[in-house]
Amino acid sequence: MKVYMVMFDWSTSDDSAVEVELFATYKKAFDRFNEIIANEKIFDVSWAADAFDSNGEVIDGYEFEEHILTDGTNEYDCWWNLTDKNDWYCHDFLDLKVMEVK
């Protein structure tokens, strides 16, 4: 049996958390993964919004890596990672993992 884990490890200079959610279907996990990304790009919600210009490109001063090989119809591990190079405490590490439960 498979489960799909969305893990959001975030940190700022004054707070941090690791949030883990498990889903029964890849679609639900993938939708939640994308919902978190969309929320992180909203200025009133997250520091991460400062890392992107009006075209959605990452600006200088931030390290960004993403691995999203699907539109949600194929099951792949995905990640979306952002770090503030000027404040290494500030990071967003978001993962979607396909896991087999025995």
Domain of residue 18, residue span: 2-100
The alpha carbon torsion through 41, 43, 7, 64 (nearest 10 deg) reads 50
CA–CA separation, 14 and 20 (whole Å) = 20
Residue 55 tokens, joined: 């075209």
- What predicted TM-score, i.e. pTM, was given to this entire model? 0.93
Can you give the pLDDT at residue 64?
97
Ordered per-residue pLDDT tens for the chain, 102 residues:
999 999 999 999 899 999 999 999 999 999 999 999 999 999 999 999 999 999 999 999 999 999 998 888 899 999 999 999 998 789 999 999 999 988
Q: Which H/E stretch holds residue 4?
A: strand 2-11
Query: What phi and psi, each to the nearest 5 degrees, are found at residue 76?
Result: -135, 150
CA–CA separation, 53 and 31 (whole Å) = 24
Can you give the pLDDT at residue 2?
95
Can you give the pLDDT at residue 84?
96
CA–CA separation, 20 and 8 (whole Å) = 6
Can you give the pLDDT at residue 94?
98
Determine contact, residues 82/100, Cβ cutoff 8 Å. Answer: no
Can you give the pLDDT at residue 26?
96
Give the total number of structural domains in the chain: 1
